[in-house]
Amino acid sequence: MENMFNTALQDIYMQQTRLKQVKRSGDLQLSGEITNYEAFNKGIGSDGYSSMVELRMTVRVNFVNSSNPTENMNGQQFSASREYNSNQQLSAVQDELVNQMIKEIVEQIFNATVANW
């Protein structure tokens, strides 16, 4: 999951800006971690059992803009969630749902960091 997230994050900056990735001393520095990944029962069916499950991911991000330090973020959290039918096994839907959540969170991070350019 970590590699998928890192790749998606790198891709959006490379594709939608003229930024180039460097090993150190970049004008923009982005770091973070996945702080939460959980599935929990969401809805109860007429039979009294869970009918829906919500899968949620939260990421904490640190952002440094050396050209404009007022835009820096420290510990900003971004989240996404998806629901699936409790009749399905998580393993059957996890890849697709994780990809969707990663895409959503990456877009949130991108918009929070460089969308005002």
Predicted model pTM: 0.91
Provide the CATH number for the domain around residue 7. 3.30.160.150
Residue 32 contacts residue 62 (beta carbons within 8 Å): yes
Residue 94 contacts residue 67 (beta carbons within 8 Å): no
Asked whether residue 117 carries a pLDDT value surpassing 80, the answer given is no
Q: Give counts: helices (H), strands (E), the chain.
A: 2, 3
What would the mean pLDDT of 10-27 be, rounded to a whole number?
91
| pLDDT one-digit tens code per residue, 19-52 | 998 988 889 999 999 999 999 998 777 787 888 9
**Structural domain of residue 45, as residue ranges?**
2-114
Res 4: pLDDT: 94
- Strands of 50-65's sheet in order across: 28-44, 50-65, 73-85
Side-chain-side CA neighbours of 74 within 13 Å: the count stands at 2
